[in-house]
Amino acid sequence: MTIGSGYSYPSSVLGSHRTKRSAKDKWKARFPNPPDLCFDYRALVEQENGIAKATDLQHKICIIGAGVTGLTAARELYRCGFTDITLIEQARRIGGRHLTIAGSAKSSKPHTPFEMGAMRMPFFNRAGEAATEGRSLMAYYAKAFDLAHADFANPGSQWVSSTGIYLREGSLGGGPSPHMLIWKNADGQTPPPGADLQRVYAKWKAFADRMTRHVANVYASEAWEAMWAAIVEKYQGVSFRDLVRLPVLSAWDEHAPGDFGGMGMSPEESAIFYAIGIGDGSWGAFYDVCSLYPLRTAIFGFSSRLQLILGRVDAIGEPLDSPSLHDEAVFDSRGLSFERPRYVGLAALNECLLFMRTEETAKSFYEHCAERGNGLLTDSSVTKLQKLPNQKIRVSYDWKHSQPEHALEQFDDFDSVIMTLPSWLIETRIRLENFTEQMLPFATINAYKTAHWETSCKVFAPLKKSFLSKNTNIPQAIVTDSFIHDVYTYRYNDNYSYDCILLSYTWEDDASKLALFSDKELVTRCANELDRILMNSANIQEKISPYIGLDQAVVHRWMSDKNALGCAKLYRPGTYYDAVSLMKYNRDFGHVSGLYFSGESFSVDAGWTEPCFRGAVDAVIHICSKTAATFNGGFALSDYPHYVVRS
């Protein structure tokens, strides 16, 4: 996790020299930003009156899934003037894989949030620039909703007092007894301790610097699309494991612009890098994914200047006055209650998308649904999409899904349907009928059916405030090659009665190893293992468990979450073009099928929320185009770049 977590080079590079954009460059993104579409989504969405003005107000739209993708699509369509929108959610809460646990249903007083899903957000802001001025949709919504945020306490960064590194049972570093290496990086520039770690750090940084400099100088220029295509062609069939071992390129060749070589690590160095990673989590679990995923993460701003979302709260963590905050319960359009808003932690983002009013309508989407008496359905599991002869799509669903004895099969017909679910849920829960090859090619179905979804397990617990206030012996963050892997401790504010510890954060095989244990057993084993490591370290020899409220610990396993079936979508070497083909679907087929795929399932930047926003906006753009809406700001579909897939 730690080798590059303070690495903010992408955000420090200005890239192209264009500080003022010409008219034709109005919609181009700036660096750092995702590479596939050099498009400024924020410029489109932040306009007065939003993306477009709807002209076909009778167009009937269904959105399946009230995660951040579905909520964003609903809000932006409503801003455009569409009013016949129905949002269907299987769970009794909104937010999907944004899962914030902050307080109990019996208490209105917030406490330190446990972010069981996504927890650290890239804003794509440059050095010296406020996070909310970054050119991302996350930055836009954070500013629009007054979301408080803070630099995330990543291991190895300047945002922690120290990071402990315990590898190979404390033998790394060659001391006479087991030691925990202590890394203090107050300036954000201090390399990790010890010759072994510094050698690995230097090889990673040399590769990343070389690639970032070239990418930043070409991004958003006329040459960018060709350069990115060359990078994809070079690395789409290469695993991250192989990239780490590939020889270092002595000099970049403009005639082979996509080739930046590898990191040139030895097997021993690779083993260390496996445990330490590049700066946003232990990367060993991802060593066999396509190398383009970590490259995108590290080079294009996804792991730079990450932010912890505190919520729509004041300086002491109390929620600002917000819609439905003081309601004892909130209800969907059919009178079913669902989890009420608290506006604390990352969940506040989803709550704001639903409950905060838009300037264009002077109402929230939630208020609009309440007035209609329709439009928001919770506890409703979609079971079938059927293309009808009249070109509408019939959406069948089980209402009161969580109560099988009371569940009712129901359906409604729509002109457009936006699907936002994780693709494994689509395959296992929803039947698609009467969609022809011209509407839904088998290649598209196969691409989302064979997509790889990673598992993840988080173990959170309350942490006594004395740990961060008075403890100077145990590092604030710890990275190990033990089964617990990464340990984070951090504070939201002084007002909450305790801080929090992410006692174990694991992905992929490392998370699967923990599936055997009950939640209580896992909490105990994690605490015991961390105590063992600390006591075995000659320079620590103090237990951390006395600081932890183990009885109040919370565990979440994403692969067994019936509303997710995974934490985030990844792709293996050789499957990158399949993932991009899913992003192309809306432009190529949505106007014929009436079906729009949106969200992380149909992206290549898993786990970062930004692709959820962008997927939602993509669907809105294409529905607006199909219905002849009037785009704002002079935007036209011809300004929207194409995803490129090798033929």
The 10s digit of each residue's pLDDT in 556-605 is: 999 999 999 999 999 999 999 999 999 999 999 999 999 999 999 999 99
According to DSSP, the β-strands at 148-151 and 114-115 are unpaired
pLDDT at 165 over 50: yes
pLDDT at 104 over 80: no
Q: What is the mean pLDDT of residues 353-360?
A: 97
According to DSSP, the β-strands at 452-454 and 568-570 are antiparallel
Q: How confident is the model at residue 122 (pLDDT cuts 50, 70, 90)?
A: very high
- What pLDDT score does 280 carry? 47
Q: Which residues pair with 483 in a beta bridge?
A: none
Q: What is the mean pLDDT of residues 611-621?
A: 97
List of residues 6+ apart from 457 with CB closer than 8 A: 504, 505, 506, 511, 514, 522, 555, 556, 557, 558
- Of 21 and 427, the structure prediction assigns the larger pLDDT to 427
- What pLDDT score does 102 carry? 87
List of residues 6+ apart from 221 with CB closer than 8 A: 16
- What pLDDT score does 277 carry? 73
Peptide bond into 34 cis (omega under 30): no
- What pLDDT score does 419 carry? 98
Reading phi first (left if > 0) and then psi (alpha if -120 to 50, else beta), residue 353 is in alpha
DSSP string for 403-442: -TTT-EEEEEEESEEEE-S-HHHHHHH-EEES--TTTS-H
Could you list the beta-strand ranges (E) of 464-532. 477-480, 486-490, 499-507
Q: Among candidates 545, 464, 533, which has minimal Cα distance to 500?
A: 464
Report the alpha-carbon distance of residue 160 to residue 152 in Å, rounded: 9
10 Å CB burial of residue 193 (0-12, 13-18, 19+) is: middle
The 10s digit of each residue's pLDDT in 503-525 is: 999 999 999 999 999 999 999 99
- What pLDDT score does 270 carry? 92
- What pLDDT score does 3 carry? 42
Q: How confident is the model at residue 275 (pLDDT cuts 50, 70, 90)?
A: confident
Name the residue type at position 271.
A
Could you list the beta-strand ranges (E) of 152-271. 163-166, 181-183
Q: How confident is the model at residue 1 (pLDDT cuts 50, 70, 90)?
A: very low
Q: Which residues pair with 569 in a beta bridge?
A: 453
- What pLDDT score does 15 carry? 45
Q: How confident is the model at residue 363 (pLDDT cuts 50, 70, 90)?
A: very high
Q: How confident is the model at residue 188 (pLDDT cuts 50, 70, 90)?
A: confident
- What pLDDT score does 603 carry? 94
Q: Among candidates 295, 365, 501, which has minimal Cα distance to 78?
A: 365
List of residues 6+ apart from 412 with CB closer than 8 A: 62, 86, 394, 395
Q: What are the contacts of 394-401 at 24+ separation with CB within 8 A?
A: 395/62, 395/64, 395/88, 397/88, 399/334, 400/336, 401/90
Please count the other Cβ atoms lying within 10 Å of the Cβ belonging to residue 315. Answer: 10
Report the alpha-carbon distance of residue 465 to residue 463 in Å, rounded: 6
The 10s digit of each residue's pLDDT in 456-477 is: 999 999 999 999 999 999 999 9
pLDDT at 19 over 80: no
Q: Among candidates 519, 510, 513, which has minimal Cα distance to 480?
A: 510
Q: Which pTM does this prediction carry?
A: 0.95
Q: What is the average pLDDT score of the chain?
A: 93
Question: How many residues does the structure list for the chain?
Answer: 647
Q: How confident is the model at residue 109 (pLDDT cuts 50, 70, 90)?
A: low
The 10s digit of each residue's pLDDT in 63-87 is: 999 999 999 999 999 999 999 999 9
- What pLDDT score does 2 carry? 38
DSSP 3-state of 497: coil
pLDDT at 13 over 90: no
Q: What percent of the chain has pLDDT over 90?
A: 86
> Which helix (H) or strand (E) is 148 found in, with range?
strand 148-151
Q: What is the mean pLDDT of residues 388-397?
A: 98
Residue 493 DSSP symbol: -
Q: Do 9 and 300 touch, CB atoms closer than 8 A?
A: no
pLDDT at 6 over 80: no
